[in-house]
Structure formats: C-alpha cells, structure tokens
Amino acid sequence: MDAFYASVELLRYPQLKGLPVVIGGGRRKEDDLLGRLAVAYPGQSWGTENLADIPVDFFPRLAGYTGRGVITTATYAARQFGVGSAMGLMKAAKLCPDAILLPVDFEQYRHYSRRFKSIITDIAPLMENRGVDEVYIDFTDVPGGQRDGGRVLARLIQKTIFEDTGLTCSVGVAPNKLIAKMASEFNKPNGISIVHEADLQTLIWPLACRKINGIGPKADEKLQQHGIRTIGDLAARDPIWLKAHFGKAYGAWLHEAAWGRDERPVSLESEPVSMSRETTFEKDLHAVRDRQTLGQIFTRLCEQVAADLQRKGYEGKTIGIKLRYDNFKSVTRDQTLDLYTADPATIRQVAGQCLKRVDLSRRLRLLGVRVGSLVKQGTAPAEGQPNKTSETPDLDPQAQLLFTDE
C-alpha cells in the first residue's frame, strides 16, 4: 500500500491532500484534534461526516515538536523535504517545520488493512501477510493470472481496492517473492512493475545491495567495505568468498539473492510466536527515584500483554522483559515456566523476577514485557519435566527491591 498510514488519514482529512503530512510521535495535548475542536467551535459536534470541514490551519504542525517520537509514514509531498520513515520528529521538524503532524491511529489502519486484504483474497486466495500494509500473492493458479504477464490481475486488484477504499497500492510481479518485492518499488505510487527472469542484469543488478529484502544497514556497511555496492557487484563475487566473510548460511543466501533465486513459497496464515508491549518514556526514569511510576508502567504493560493474549486466544510459557538504557543499549531477560499462562498476575510476577537480573542503576528510557513460546489457548501440551535453566545471578540486590516487588 502506498504511504499507507498517511493515505488512510487523507481519507478522513481530504483537505490535506497534496500537503506535507507526517504520521507518528507520542501524543501531545495539541495533537488531540477533537479536543481542540471542541474548544474552538463550542456547540459544534465533530464526527466522521464533517472532519473534512476542519480548516487546514487548524492542524498541528511539526514545528516545536519536543517528544521522542519518530515518523511512521510521510506523504509524498513531505518526502520532498527529505523526511521519511523512522526519522526522529525533532529532526523532521527542522527539515519541514510546516508539515502537518497527525498521531497514529492503529485501529483505523487495521480496519483498512482487513478491507484491502479481504479484497485480495476474494480475487487470489493464496495471500501471505507481511504486516499491516503489505502482502505477497501467488498468481500462479488464479484464472487469468498469466494474462499480460500478470498485469491484468494486478490492475484488477488495484482497481478493486481503490473503488472500495480509495487507497492506492503498488504491485510488483515476478517469478518469486524476492524479485516481486523489489519490483513493487519500481513504480510507486499506484504503479505496476513486471520483472522477468531475463531482466535480472538490466533491472536488478544496477540496484544498491540495500534494495534486497534481508540486507539491512549492518550487512550493507560490511559489503561496501569490500567494495560491493550494487547487486551486480554482489553477484560477481565467488560464493566461497561470500561464505568465508559472511558466514555459511548468510553468505550462501547473499549469492542466491544476487542471482535472483528464491524458492520460498507464498505461505498462508502462520501462528504467532510471541506477543509484547513496550513503551518509551517521555523522559528517562530511574529505578529508585521513579520507582512508583515505573512500577505502574510495568504493571500496565503486563496487563496489556495479558489482555492481548486473551483477546486473541493464546497463552505462553516464556515471560521476558526488555529494557533500554539512557545510552540506548538494550538488554533482555526471560524465563520459561512449566505451565502456559495468559494471566496478568503471573506474568507480572515472573517478569518481576527477570527484572532482578539486570542492572537498574542506569537511567532507563524503555521498558517492555514479552510472552513467547505461544500456543492456542486450551491446546497447551502436557506439562513437561521441570525446565533446565541456565542460572543468571541476580544483580545489584539493593536497586532491585525498590521497584520489582511493588
């Protein structure tokens, strides 16, 4: 989907079309549009039917943003200013102070996500979810899937989604997922791109290695150090050399990817492995000095993850925590139980034990709670032998007591 979050917001606020808009960030009072409208226009009620009447000048701007949020999506107009996904909003505010800032509304995005996905599965049932705004589709056995190299079906999907939701998407058609993903980037927004096996050298090899789904910033940096910048450069390397420098499995995969080879099937629904909740604080907190605040946040995270599990019908037996220190270093601790659970009190208790095994003398910027090793509720395998645990000793007992046992 093209600029998905932003495009969904533009459905509600069409008056913002063509303007630089970014979605993201923590909530500020100024971001509470409806609250501000109630003050500015007393007696008028604002609902789905007249949101389009809100004057553009009324929307909050990026200028003066002071929180720790990042951009999740920017409209194409905003991208002109050099702002984009994952950029800190403070930095974005320097680049484009007049951009309109809207808070994220996952509820709404999930709603449109379900809608466009159900349109797709009506047309082509073999669909794989790749998050809220992206899917892989296997056209192979869909009637008409081969017409004009897949272009006919791609167009049908685009048209049907647009007519139902008003949203546009970009489609890449290729012999496998790896190339299709790259192809989908060629013609954004609202484009279709078809890449055949024979187009590898002309269309794929000139691209930066980073365009391969699976080569991130770290691998790219290392590749560049060896003079490998394009996928063609990568394809030219001896696979034995790649394995020696990048590890057996990853080296072999790099070679295959550069040659456009990918045998992964388009797979239908898969079971979740873990669920988690985490939060970055407005300001760094200290285990001792901010003990009460941290205790409340910690309990809330446990309750939220328990509620998520129960709502979706899962329970897990590995309970873990994650901290991020003021220096941005993260640590995790987890513990596996003999029993599966989705109970907030149990999660709170075990997560509290995990907290005792980390250094709490540094200030914290993030706290998270995770439950893993999930099974569908009621299908928990029989209780096994007691766990073999590799003991990690408790640290800094003084600091621990202060908020872990609240």
Partner DNA sequence: TCTGGGGTCCTAGGACCC
- Contact status: 199 vs DNA (CB under 7 A): no
Hey, what are 265's tokens? 């099937």
- Contact status: 130 vs DNA (CB under 7 A): yes
Q: Nearest approach, Cβ of 386 to DNA (angstroms)?
A: 9
Three-class DSSP labels, the chain: CCCHHHHHHHHHCHHHCCCCEEEECCCCHHHCHHHHHHHHCCCCCCCCCCHHHCCHHHCCECCCCCCCCEEEEECHHHHCCCCCCCCEHHHHHHHCCCCEEECCCHHHHHHHHHHHHHHHHHHCCCEEECCCCCEEECCCCCCCCCHHHHHHHHHHHHHHHHHHHCCCCCEEECCCHHHHHHHCCCCCCCCEEECCHHHHHHHHCCCEHHHCCCCCHHHHHHHHHCCCCEHHHHHHCCHHHHHHHHCHHHHHHHHHHHCCCCCCCCCCCCCCCEEEEEEEEEEEECCCCCHHHHHHHHHHHHHHHHHHHHHHCEEEEEEEEEEEECCCCEEEEEEEEEEEECCHHHHHHHHHHHHCCCCCCCCEEEEEEEEECCEECCCCCCCCCCCCCCCCCCCCHHHHHHHHCC
One of 168, 280, 310, 377 touching DNA (CB under 7 A):
280
Q: Nearest approach, Cβ of 25 to DNA (angstroms)?
A: 8
- Contact status: 328 vs DNA (CB under 7 A): yes
C-beta of 54 vs 204, nearer to DNA: 204
C-beta of 110 vs 155, nearer to DNA: 110
Q: Which stretch binds DNA (CB under 7 A): 118-126, 141-149, 268-276, 288-296?
A: 268-276
In whole angstroms, give the CA distance from residue 210 to residue 220: 6
Q: Residues 134, 185, 256, 406: which is the catalytic one?
A: 134
- Contact status: 368 vs DNA (CB under 7 A): yes
One of 28, 51, 85, 259 touching DNA (CB under 7 A):
85
- Contact status: 68 vs DNA (CB under 7 A): yes
Hey, what are 345's tokens? 């009190």
C-beta of 54 vs 75, nearer to DNA: 75
- Contact status: 390 vs DNA (CB under 7 A): yes
Contacts of residue 144, Cβ cutoff 8 Å, sequence gap at least 6 = 152, 153
- Contact status: 346 vs DNA (CB under 7 A): no
C-beta of 83 vs 123, nearer to DNA: 83
- Contact status: 193 vs DNA (CB under 7 A): no
> Contacts with DNA in 231-250 (CB under 7 A)?
247-250
- Contact status: 225 vs DNA (CB under 7 A): no
- Contact status: 266 vs DNA (CB under 7 A): no
One of 128, 138, 233, 308 touching DNA (CB under 7 A):
308
Q: Nearest approach, Cβ of 281 to DNA (angstroms)?
A: 8
Q: Nearest approach, Cβ of 3 to DNA (angstroms)?
A: 12
Q: Please confirm, yes or no, whether 269 is among the known catalytic residues.
A: no
- Contact status: 208 vs DNA (CB under 7 A): no
- Contact status: 185 vs DNA (CB under 7 A): no
C-beta of 27 vs 147, nearer to DNA: 27
Q: Which stretch binds DNA (CB under 7 A): 50-58, 158-166, 171-179, 270-278?
A: 270-278
In whole angstroms, give the CA distance from residue 88 to residue 96: 12
- Contact status: 43 vs DNA (CB under 7 A): no
- Contact status: 296 vs DNA (CB under 7 A): no
Hey, what are 90's tokens? 């403070």
Number of residues that bind DNA (CB under 7 A): 67
Output b/e per residue, 265-300; b: 16+ Cβ within 10 A: ebeeeeeeeebbbbbbbeebbbbeebbeebbebbbe
Q: Nearest approach, Cβ of 312 to DNA (angstroms)?
A: 8
One of 108, 168, 187, 213 touching DNA (CB under 7 A):
213
Give the catalytic positions in this structure.
134
Contacting positions for DNA (CB under 7 A):
26, 67-70, 72, 85-86, 88, 90-91, 94, 130-134, 181, 212-220, 247-250, 270, 272-280, 308, 317-318, 320, 327-336, 354, 357, 365-366, 368, 372-373, 387-390, 392
